[in-house]
Amino acid sequence: MSHLLAQLFPPSVLRPMELGADASILLGGLGIVLLLTRLRRWGWLWREWITTVDHKKIGIMYLIFAMVGLFRGGLDAVMLRTQLAIPNNTFLGPEHYNEIFTTHGTIMVFFMAMPFIFALFNIAVPLMIGARDVAFPKLNAISFWLFAFAFVLFNMSFVVGGSPNAGWTAYAPLTELRFNPGVGENYYLIALQISGIGTIATGVNFLVTILRMRAKGMTLMKMPLFVWSVLITSSLVIFAFPALTVALALTMLDRLFGTSFFTIAHGGMPMMYVNLFWIWGHPEVYILALPAFGIFSEVVATFSRKRLFGYPAMVGSLIAISLLSYGVWVHHFFTMGAGAAVNAFFGVSTMLIAIPTGVKIFNWIFTMWGGRIRMTVAMLWQLAFIPTFVIGGATGVMLAVVPGDYQFHNSYFLVAHFHNVLIGGVVFGLFSGLYYWWPKMFGYLLSERQGKWAFWFFLIGFWVTFFPQYLLGLKGMTRRIYIYPHGLGWSPLNLISTLGAYAMGIGFVILVYSVVYSWRHREPDLTGDPWDGRTLEWSLPSPAPEYNFAVLPEVTERDAWWEMKQEGRSGKVRAEDIGAIRMPRNTPVPFLLGMSFFVAGIGAVFSWWPIAIAGMLFVIALLVSGWFEEHDHHDIPAEEIRRTEAALGRLEG
Amino acid sequence: MTVQAHPAQQTQMPLEFRDSHETLGILGFWLFLASDVVLFACLFAVYAVFHGRVAAGPTPLQIFHLGPVLTETVLLLTSSFTCGIGIFMMRRGRTKALMAWLALTMLLGLAFVGMEITEFTTDVATFGTWHQSAFLSSFFTLVGTHGGHVSFGILWAAALLVRLWRQGITQATARRVYTFSLYWHFLDIIWIFLFTVVYLSGKIT
């Protein structure tokens, strides 16, 4: 019994900060339970959300989780910066600091950015291509619930058992059992494995959706550019994620089942892990960045009231980036010593990526050229992105210069660079998309005024945080150090950087406040097209009805909805064109599947094998039951659709 | 979900391709297989790097016995053939024959997995566990992953048999049998690479 308690609650989860977090989680959880009970919303939660297979609702659920991830990852960042604000600080101890930079990175990549892009995939793609759902709605729900339960599994590590502490990259041999006892790394390995299965399924799902379910007349070269970016991203996902699956699985086998992949004494090789990780890891950078590029391409055209400049070049550069991204992974470890020839190859291939990226930057600028630009919040993020990303890209090229990299490697110069591209590229893009598609999701706009406050706090905070880090890197400060002495010339820059991080935190708080404020003071957007948009999602009411399109649209031009508006068409439908629509039916299986994986995951984390086996048996039972599922759809009668459309004012005549 | 193939085409096509919604599943399955190829490619790469790193453990030459492996190969290749005949029978609408060939496929698969388990347990009993060397770790992981796939396929075939028995050949069951056959042939191809890269090369060096 005492052994079990020691395993569940090692000293690292009993620090005052952790106990404080436990208390707030407990209170928050209780509050939610009470609120749902009081409002009698349990049935609603089950019917409308937990069992849903509707891509629009799944998108919203991804978004909620992404925001929680952003909160936790951001809180971790603020704690790290607080520790580094002044020399010889004692806010966090060394072990604690290791845990927090590990969870910060892992959460930001896997449990903030990934669900955020999947949220926007789900919300926008079917509506943009004129489809009624994704190709495999139930699989889509399964992907979500695997992610959601993996999210919970990963985030509970600091409450029960202890956090992972080997960095978000989890390099061997730091993760090997003899150097890293305890269950923290198990949480990392198993949670990422579970959400990774869902990610590959999402990749397959959106590839099939885009390849096979576009509206009549929408050829590949008439797709909105965001849809192109999702197509390319999904192909990156299915060809890159298996490498991560293998990297994680081999580490797990080493830790839990006694293999010797990464232990040198038995002929293993830690660099094998590093290679596998980055064969996934570099394409992953573009899995996050390309959707952001797609969002910017939609936003810039809409708010410049112009067609996107150089559409074919935009498509070509997306494809070029995706292909090049598989040939650059060694640039993450030039210092491994692979030799001059290998390093030269990967240095040059890395620099090549700047070319298609540069093409995109110019095309966004030329789209704005001569356009009538509206300074909405979505557009502000786009405008901030261009110079920010150019600088991030340029420092990336500096890192790709191999002799230079021997100096920059693992310094704060690198830290500044990847935050520069991942925040300046990905997060700015996600915020832009959030403001752009929010009315489509919820039927009202976010406050533009508050949005601009959040924007300026976040943007200025961003530069104040990360520009000093470039200088710190050049002054020799290495990443992942938890403490530094006086007199190295690092102190003022670190303090400035920390102040910037607080400003970003304030920006996030304003954003959250703005979401709540905008909801309480919402004015329904009855047009469905508040931005005078160009693509098909804006031809629908906001939020779109369950079946999206009462009558499937036909497309003749690239910016289909814009062309329809130019021809004086309204998007309304004729009652006689409406027929019955077959839609997928709600199912609890995806939720239960996620839960079973969670149980199996807990069993594996603590090596409680009966529980792990029981969880996997549930998984198999649910899969087999799915093979016999026959009534997985329902038909909405034409009359009901006519009534819905009439109520939305969308019937002609 | 409402895309329809041209009516004239529909009658020409095999059953599993007639309903355009069902064919989404076929394309999706091809893409899953593409992803699975990368998974195996990574495991092959790991094996290729580690096959000579035997530490104090046995070498490939000591551990591989081509006799049983050849039998396994014959079993699996034959099962791919019987699976093909099953699809041939499905195209002719002969439910019973399809079920019989599918059952035979499943049994051959079972025999294959049985032999592989025997091989593994004998290896462990003779030479010790995979802890000993990176070579053993990567060998058991690569071959075991394939074996795990085959075992999952056996479970899948069993479920298909039950469904065929209850419903016969419909568009839905035909599509599922067809995707199963893709999976099964895919595992066959992986095995051919395993046989060459792991076992045959192991005997040469």
Give yes or no for B6 touching A (CB within 8 A): no
A537 and A125 in contact (C-beta within 8 Å)?
no
Question: How close is the nearest chain A Cα to the Cα of B171, in Å?
Answer: 12
Q: What is the pLDDT of residues A441-492, one digit of tens each?
A: 999 999 999 999 999 999 999 999 999 999 999 999 999 999 999 999 999 9
Give backbone dihedrals phi and psi of A584, rounded to 5 degrees, phi first. -65, 150
Shortest CA distance from A265: residue in chain B: B55
B131·A627 Cβ contact <8 A:
no
Cβ neighbors of A554 (< 8 A, separation 6 or more) are: A215, A216, A217
pLDDT at A653 over 90: no
Cβ neighbors of A128 (< 8 A, separation 6 or more) are: A223, A224, A226, A227, A535, A536, A537
pLDDT at A617 over 90: yes
Query: Which token pair is B41?
Result: 């490619």
pLDDT at A2 over 90: no
Tell me the C-alpha distance between A23 and A233, whole Å: 40
Where a domain ends, among A268, A303, A335?
A268
Query: Which token pair is A588?
Result: 């609890």
Where a domain ends, among A268, A290, A305?
A268
Where a domain ends, among A239, A268, A297?
A268
Position A530 in a domain? no
A242·B32 Cβ contact <8 A:
no
Please report the pLDDT score of residue B8 as a whole number: 47
Q: Environment class of residue A286 by beta-carbon count within 10 Å: exposed (0-12), middle (13-18) or buried (19+)?
A: buried
Give yes or no for B36 touching A (CB within 8 A): yes
Q: Span A297-313, mean pLDDT?
A: 97
Tell me the C-alpha distance between A501 and A497, whole Å: 6
Position A274 in a domain? no
Q: How far is CA A588 from each of CA A63, A190, A612, rounded to the nearest angstrom?
A: 20, 23, 21
Give, for A5, the enclosing helix (H) or strand (E): helix A2-8
Position A349 in a domain? no
Neighbouring-strand partners of residue A411: A478
Position A336 in a domain? no
Contacts of B54 in chain A (CB under 8 A): 267
User: Of B77, B80, B66, B75, which Cα lies nearest the Cα of B119?
Assistant: B66
A246·B131 Cβ contact <8 A:
no
Q: Across all residues in chain B, what is the average pLDDT? A: 92
What CATH number has the domain bearing residue A53? 1.20.210.10
Shortest CA distance from A131: residue in chain B: B1
Could you give the domains of chain B?
Answer: 7-204 (1.20.120.80)
Contacts of B43 in chain A (CB under 8 A): 246
Choose among A133, A207, A272: nearest Cβ to B49. A272
Please report the pLDDT score of residue A188 as a whole number: 97
> Is the entire prediction scored with pTM above 0.90?
yes
Q: What is the pLDDT of residues A336-362, one digit of tens each?
A: 888 999 999 999 999 999 999 999 999
Q: What is the pLDDT of residues A137-168, one digit of tens each?
A: 999 999 999 999 999 999 999 999 999 999 99
- Where does A213-337 have alpha helices with state H? 225-257, 270-304, 311-324
Question: How close is the nearest chain A Cα to the Cα of B1, in Å?
Answer: 7
Q: What is the pLDDT of residues A212-234, one digit of tens each?
A: 999 999 999 999 999 999 999 99
Q: Span B168-196, mean pLDDT?
A: 95
Q: What is the pLDDT of residues A401-451, one digit of tens each?
A: 999 999 999 999 999 999 999 999 999 999 999 999 999 999 999 999 999
B39·A245 Cβ contact <8 A:
yes
Give yes or no for B120 touching A (CB within 8 A): no
Domain encompassing residue A578: 536-586+635-653
Give yes or no for B134 touching A (CB within 8 A): yes
Choose among A253, A272, A630: nearest Cβ to B141. A253
Please report the pLDDT score of residue B11 as a whole number: 60
**A-B contacts (CB, under 8 Å):** 133
A260·B131 Cβ contact <8 A:
yes
Position A140 in a domain? yes
ipTM of the prediction greater than 0.90, yes or no: yes
Q: How far is CA A17 from the centre of its chain?
A: 27
Q: What is the pLDDT of residues A530-540, one digit of tens each?
A: 999 999 999 99
Question: How close is the nearest chain A Cα to the Cα of B132, in Å?
Answer: 6
B50·A630 Cβ contact <8 A:
no
A269·B136 Cβ contact <8 A:
no
Position A295 in a domain? no
Give yes or no for B204 touching A (CB within 8 A): no
A242·B55 Cβ contact <8 A:
no
- Position with higher pLDDT, A411 vs A6: A411
Q: Across all residues in chain A, what is the average pLDDT? A: 95
Choose among A207, A212, A269: nearest Cβ to B49. A269
pLDDT band at B3 (very low <50, low <70, confident <90, very high): very low
The identity of residue B72, as a single letter, is E
Residue to mutate among B4, B17, B20, B24, with most A CBs inside 10 A, is B24
pLDDT at A639 over 50: yes
Please report the pLDDT score of residue B205 as a whole number: 60
User: Of A46, A23, A26, which Cα lies nearest the Cα of A36?
Assistant: A46
Question: How close is the nearest chain B Cα to the Cα of A64, in Å?
Answer: 28
Question: How close is the nearest chain B Cα to the Cα of A547, in Å?
Answer: 11
Cβ neighbors of A531 (< 8 A, separation 6 or more) are: A302, A303, A376, A378, A436, A439, A538
Shortest CA distance from B140: residue in chain A: A259
Contacts of B139 in chain A (CB under 8 A): none
A272·B3 Cβ contact <8 A:
no
Position A239 in a domain? yes
Give yes or no for B1 touching A (CB within 8 A): yes
Q: Span B92-120, mean pLDDT?
A: 97
- What helix, strand, coil percent values describe chain B, rounded to 5? 85, 0, 15
**Domain count within chain A:** 2
Q: What is the pLDDT of residues A256-267, one digit of tens each?
A: 999 999 999 999
pLDDT at B96 over 60: yes
pLDDT band at B10 (very low <50, low <70, confident <90, very high): low
In 10 A of CB B173, how many CB atoms?
Answer: 20
Percent of chain A with pLDDT over 90: 91
Q: What is the pLDDT of residues A551-569, one digit of tens each?
A: 999 999 999 999 999 998 8
Shortest CA distance from B43: residue in chain A: A246
Q: How far is CA A252 from each of CA A85, A113, A170, A601, B103, rounded to the nearest angstrom?
A: 36, 24, 11, 12, 36
Position A245 in a domain? yes
pLDDT at A498 over 50: yes
Question: How close is the nearest chain A Cα to the Cα of B53, in Å?
Answer: 5
Residue to mutate among B32, B33, B46, B155, with most A CBs inside 10 A, is B46
A245·B130 Cβ contact <8 A:
no
Contacts of A261 in chain B (CB under 8 A): 46, 50, 134, 137-138
Tell me the C-alpha distance between A48 and A36, whole Å: 14
Residue to mutate among A136, A200, A237, A246, with most B CBs inside 10 A, is A246
Q: Environment class of residue A174 by beta-carbon count within 10 Å: exposed (0-12), middle (13-18) or buried (19+)?
A: middle
